[in-house]
A and B are shown apart, each in its own frame.
Chain A
Amino acid sequence: MTASGTIGVGLTRREDARILRGETRYLDDIVRPGMLHAAFVRSPHAAATIAALRVPVGVEGLVAVLSSADLGGLARFPVTEPPGSQIEAAEAHPVLADGEVRYAGQPVAMVLAASRALAEDAAERVDVEYEVHEPILSPRESEHVMMRWSARRGDVDAAFAEAAHIVSGSYALARLIAAPMETRGVVAEHDPELDMLTLWCSAQDIHRPLAQLAHILRRPPESLRLIVPDVGGAFGSKGVIAPEVAAVAAGTLAVGAPVKWTEDRLENLIGAYQGRGMEADLELALDARGRMLALRARLRADLGGYLLTTTPIPPHTAGTLLPGCYDIPAADVQVLGTRTNKVPTGPYRGAGRPDAAYMIESLVDAAARALDVDRVALRRRNLIRGFPHRTATGLDYDSGDFERCLDRALDLLGPVAPAEPGEVRGQGVALYVERSGGAWESAEIRLDPDGRFRVASSANPHGQGHETTFAQIAAERLLVSPDAIELQFGDSATSPAGVGTFGSRSVAQAGSAVAMAADALVACGRDRAAQVLGVQTDRITHAASGFSASTGTVSWDSLAKSTSLGPLRAEARFQSANVFSSGAHGATVSIDRRTGALRVDRLVAVDDAGIVINPLLVHGQVIGGTVQALGECLTEEAVYDEAGRPGARSFLDYSLLTAADVPPITTAEVATPTPLNPLGAKGAGEGGAVGALPAIANAVADALGGVVVTPPFTAEKLWRALQEQSLRARGGEGSS
């Protein structure tokens, strides 16, 4: 390994060997002495009042059945208020149902027993009487507004009054399930002497779960310790603790024994917060030359039965991002999040970004059809070309080269080949911006006497590869091999303060903090070397060999061993505004005329994540995200029946794509560095999931001659659309 030039190198991951040998420790692998197991009694009804709850007696291994009344004094979930929004905090999710249930699957009571099997046995025997009510399932029919946000800038009414063209469209995205391969879970243990409650939690980070638990349990944060072990994926779904996690924490305190809860797949499918669930009516005003003048949008979000901590975030993000990559001087965007009798929604990979990209990119294609102009030409006419750029919704885009992304995607996509007999074929292209970064993270670094650098980062990973990436960042600044650097994460007792791992922000924020901490350590090293070499600090040069002056050289190794002055250590906190990744994706699709079956022939993904630290891992993020978007287009939808019962109850009902379902995906990179951080890096975690959705949707609409179908693009929906299209065509022929 060379000592410098490690940024931009596709190093394989240092995380892998441990995983490949089966030496990992995920949540369910954690065992504490005397540990009890929790199972939950859940509402089978979408809307009901709880009339009575009867606890079984004489059940083997049963320790306790705890309901809301038994866990008195708990607060409801804290709710984040996006800037400029109004939130109904009284609609926050309770830990256990408090007299009523608002979705099927809501936890009503917790059963603690000697084993998981016995806990599940006992849970089946808890008898709950419900008075069932009529559920509200459509966000449009709901009168319970839980969240509002709006933005208005420019003279929108005048723009629409003067417009040569007004194009409108209505678009919707189904509810989706994040479905990480590892479900959620917790082990809680209380030390009564220190009054310290320790929780091992399958979570995205330590900071947000700890803050949520402190609020709900009404305990000072110092009396909680949160440890995040290996995490088997999250995709946004482990940023807010499960209500069950808070119940387990409270139950541990109530019974005085450690408690474990490992969510099963059914619980995860029906009880974990879901993604998307948004619909919007949009109108775009354009002048005679196809310049976009103003955007009007009414966005409705299906928030589910209660607000969890981040439930208001995705609708707000979608609202702010609706202008996409286009220079639209005026906008009037209103977002309304309403209550329905379904599990709450929250962030799922993209978290408002795919929603916005799908809506605006579909509308731009609709505008091109209405104006009878080329889709790409219409985009080029309206792309944002100068940075920084303030959108009419109030975002500040820092950097990008949208046209270069578009050009590259078109090059890779090539011309569409003629359809096979019996098929219709379409091609689509879409641009996106990905809000990433923002807020702050921190890092500590020290050089130990064994010559190794130990870096503690506030942002811990759940599959992304922070250990490898952050070691590369530190190595580049220290001018040492990444092999000399160890990373530490995920324990609130030792971790530096931070915000969390979400929204494609880790490299931009936490990576920048690591870079700055390393720079600070270099400055310390320079000072020490100056003392040793008896020269002024500014006479010292730092190179791979160490710190040099005309009088000699001091290596990192010798600084590490000279312990008389104490170990070398440094820390840094990095804060910045949001940075905006972007990209252009393309798709070619074919639809069987007789069956409506969709085949995605190829996908193209061009992403601009700024300066890339590790291209191998960024490529992995792009492909993984793209395939999640493909799943959203082909199969994924969390359906509910007319009584509000969830239809997705196993992986046979909620079908994730397999290796056999994935077409060739071609990727390319554009790198416009952000000026907002020392690495020039932007986020890469969500772009694939954002860009591929509108690209495929536009390809499908293209194949269908402009008929818009809501994803997932099932054979039935496409077959119906083809019938509609051929009826229209015949009608058209008849009238001409």
Chain B
Amino acid sequence: MRISVTINGTSFSDEVEPRTLLSDFIRHQAGLTGTHVGCEHGACGACTIQLDGQPVRSCLMLAVQASGRSLRTVEDLAGPNGRLSALQQAFTDHHALQCGFCTAGFLMSADALLRDRAGTHLTEAEVRRELAGNLCRCTGYEGIVAAVLSVADPPLAAE
């Protein structure tokens, strides 16, 4: 069957099997391979994208369920000419990535968290809890948590 979605502000339409996962649709049909698949059972969060602004695991949805909706993937985070967003820049400044396979999922989760919580004080414990849906095997999370806190607005209150 044919579905149409908006991905990163552009409409995209293609034939899919009813069983096609949204993650496979994004990667293999829309060709956006920045979204990675780590477990295909909703546990690792590597495939996290934003669906109508909310972070979701694209391996836990069928492509047909996304029909008519708006998707945002990691490729949409950087600005014109590839200029890194404040969150992306903070990830590199705080050495929040090593192998990079989980990074897109963390960025999409953290980007949504920062948007949802703009104007409220985020604590380190909250960031750790909110990011507990994404697994990283390399960094031990220290750099990731520091990166997210560094761009929180308002900034982290001295504890």
Contact residues of A with B, CB < 8 Å?
12-13, 15-17, 19-26, 28-29, 117, 179-183, 230-233, 235, 264-265, 462-465, 616-617, 619-620, 623-628, 650-652, 656, 658-662, 665, 688
Given contacts A233-B137, A660-B129, is CB(A13)–CB(B101) below 8 Å? no
Q: Is B144 an interface residue (CB 8 A)?
A: yes
Residues from chain B with Cβ under 8 Å of A688 in the complex: 140
Most-contacted residue by chain B among A22, A624, A665 (CB, 10 A): A22
Given contacts A265-B41, A652-B43, A658-B135, is CB(A20)–CB(B97) below 8 Å? yes
Most-contacted residue by chain A among B88, B107, B141 (CB, 10 A): B141
Closest B residue to A655 using CB positions? B43
Residues A616 and B95 in contact, CB atoms below 8 Å apart: yes
Given contacts A659-B127, A660-B128, A660-B132, is CB(A16)–CB(B37) below 8 Å? no
Given contacts A22-B73, A182-B101, is CB(A17)–CB(B129) below 8 Å? no
Q: Is B150 an interface residue (CB 8 A)?
A: no
Min CB distance, A33 to chain B, in Å?
A: 15
Given contacts A463-B98, A658-B131, A659-B145, is CB(A651)–CB(B37) below 8 Å? no
Residues A17 and B136 in contact, CB atoms below 8 Å apart: no
Residues from chain A with Cβ under 8 Å of B101 in the complex: 26, 180-182, 232-233
| Chain A to chain B contacts (Cβ below 8 Å), 11 pairs | A16-B100, A19-B103, A20-B97, A22-B33, A22-B73, A181-B135, A182-B36, A232-B102, A624-B139, A659-B131, A660-B129
Tell me, in angstroms, the Cα distance from A125 to B102 when the chains sit together: 34
Min CB distance, A542 to chain B, in Å?
A: 32
User: Which stretch, B63-71, B74-82, B114-122, B151-159, touches the partner chain A?
Assistant: B74-82
A-B CB pair tally, cutoff 8 Å: 171
Tell me, in angstroms, the Cα distance from A616 to B32 when the chains sit together: 31
Tell me, in angstroms, the Cα distance from A713 to B77 when the chains sit together: 41
Tell me, in angstroms, the Cα distance from A470 to B104 when the chains sit together: 26
Contact partner of B136 (CB less than 8 A), chosen from A22, A24, A181, is: A181
Min CB distance, B133 to chain A, in Å?
A: 8
Nearest 4 A/B pairs, CB to CB: A22-B34, A232-B101, A463-B99, A627-B140
Tell me, in angstroms, the Cα distance from A19 to B99 when the chains sit together: 9
Contact partner of A21 (CB less than 8 A), chosen from B27, B34, B133, is: B34
Q: A265-B41, A265-B44, A628-B137 are in contact. List 19 more A-B contacts (CB 8 A).
A: A13-B97, A19-B97, A20-B77, A22-B35, A22-B74, A28-B33, A181-B38, A181-B101, A182-B101, A232-B36, A233-B98, A463-B99, A620-B143, A651-B44, A658-B135, A659-B127, A659-B129, A662-B140, A688-B140
Q: Is B30 an interface residue (CB 8 A)?
A: no
Q: How large is the interface on B (under 10, 10 to 19, 20 to 34, 35 or more residues)?
A: 35 or more
Residues from chain A with Cβ under 8 Å of B75 in the complex: 21-22
Residues from chain B with Cβ under 8 Å of A24 in the complex: 33-34, 100
Tell me, in angstroms, the Cα distance from A22 to B44 when the chains sit together: 18
Min CB distance, A361 to chain B, in Å?
A: 21
Tell me, in angstroms, the Cα distance from A659 to B119 when the chains sit together: 23
Tell me, in angstroms, the Cα distance from A620 to B93 when the chains sit together: 12
Residues B32 and A22 in contact, CB atoms below 8 Å apart: yes
Contact partner of A464 (CB less than 8 A), chosen from B88, B98, B102, B136, is: B98
Contact partner of B141 (CB less than 8 A), chosen from A230, A625, A627, A650, is: A627
Residues B36 and A659 in contact, CB atoms below 8 Å apart: no
Min CB distance, B148 to chain A, in Å?
A: 9
Closest A residue to B33 using CB positions? A29
Tell me, in angstroms, the Cα distance from A16 to B82 when the chains sit together: 13
B5-41 residues with Cβ-Cβ distance < 8 A to A are: 17, 19, 27, 32-41
Min CB distance, A452 to chain B, in Å?
A: 20
Residues A20 and B39 in contact, CB atoms below 8 Å apart: no
Residues from chain A with Cβ under 8 Å of B91 in the complex: 16, 20
Contact partner of B99 (CB less than 8 A), chosen from A17, A231, A619, A660, is: A231
Given contacts A22-B75, A265-B41, A624-B98, is CB(A658)–CB(B132) below 8 Å? yes
Residues from chain A with Cβ under 8 Å of B92 in the complex: 12-13, 16-17, 20
Residues from chain B with Cβ under 8 Å of A659 in the complex: 127-129, 131-132, 134, 136, 141, 144-145
Tell me, in angstroms, the Cα distance from A650 to B140 when the chains sit together: 20
Residues from chain A with Cβ under 8 Å of B41 in the complex: 265, 650-652
Given contacts A20-B107, A22-B104, A624-B138, is CB(A13)–CB(B95) below 8 Å? yes
Given contacts A23-B34, A660-B128, is CB(A181)–CB(B77) below 8 Å? no
Min CB distance, B38 to chain A, in Å?
A: 5
Tell me, in angstroms, the Cα distance from A662 to B98 when the chains sit together: 18
Residues from chain A with Cβ under 8 Å of B102 in the complex: 181, 232
Contact partner of B139 (CB less than 8 A), chosen from A20, A117, A623, is: A623
Min CB distance, B127 to chain A, in Å?
A: 7
Most-contacted residue by chain B among A465, A616, A658 (CB, 10 A): A658
Tell me, in angstroms, the Cα distance from A619 to B143 when the chains sit together: 10
Residues A230 and B100 in contact, CB atoms below 8 Å apart: yes
Q: Is B46 an interface residue (CB 8 A)?
A: yes
Closest A residue to B148 using CB positions? A659
Most-contacted residue by chain A among B39, B43, B98 (CB, 10 A): B98
Q: Is B142 an interface residue (CB 8 A)?
A: yes
Residues from chain A with Cβ under 8 Å of B132 in the complex: 658-661
Residues B140 and A233 in contact, CB atoms below 8 Å apart: no
Residues A462 and B140 in contact, CB atoms below 8 Å apart: no
Tell me, in angstroms, the Cα distance from A20 to B128 when the chains sit together: 20
Residues A651 and B139 in contact, CB atoms below 8 Å apart: no
Residues from chain A with Cβ under 8 Å of B37 in the complex: 28
Closest A residue to B41 using CB positions? A650
Residues from chain B with Cβ under 8 Å of A15 in the complex: 100
Residues from chain B with Cβ under 8 Å of A265 in the complex: 38-41, 44
Contact partner of B84 (CB less than 8 A), chosen from A21, A264, A462, is: A21
Residues B39 and A651 in contact, CB atoms below 8 Å apart: yes
Tell me, in angstroms, the Cα distance from A117 to B127 when the chains sit together: 37
Residues A619 and B84 in contact, CB atoms below 8 Å apart: no
Closest B residue to A23 using CB positions? B34
Residues from chain A with Cβ under 8 Å of B99 in the complex: 180-182, 231-233, 462-463
Min CB distance, A519 to chain B, in Å?
A: 29
Residues A26 and B98 in contact, CB atoms below 8 Å apart: no
Residues B78 and A264 in contact, CB atoms below 8 Å apart: no
Residues from chain B with Cβ under 8 Å of A652 in the complex: 41, 43
Residues A665 and B100 in contact, CB atoms below 8 Å apart: no
Residues from chain A with Cβ under 8 Å of B133 in the complex: 658
Closest A residue to B125 using CB positions? A660
Residues A117 and B84 in contact, CB atoms below 8 Å apart: no
Closest A residue to B93 using CB positions? A12
Closest B residue to A461 using CB positions? B99
Residues from chain B with Cβ under 8 Å of A465 in the complex: 98
Closest B residue to A13 using CB positions? B92
Min CB distance, A470 to chain B, in Å?
A: 16
Closest A residue to B39 using CB positions? A265
Tell me, in angstroms, the Cα distance from A23 to B37 when the chains sit together: 15
Min CB distance, A724 to chain B, in Å?
A: 33
Most-contacted residue by chain B among A233, A465, A661 (CB, 10 A): A233
Residues from chain B with Cβ under 8 Å of A665 in the complex: 140, 142
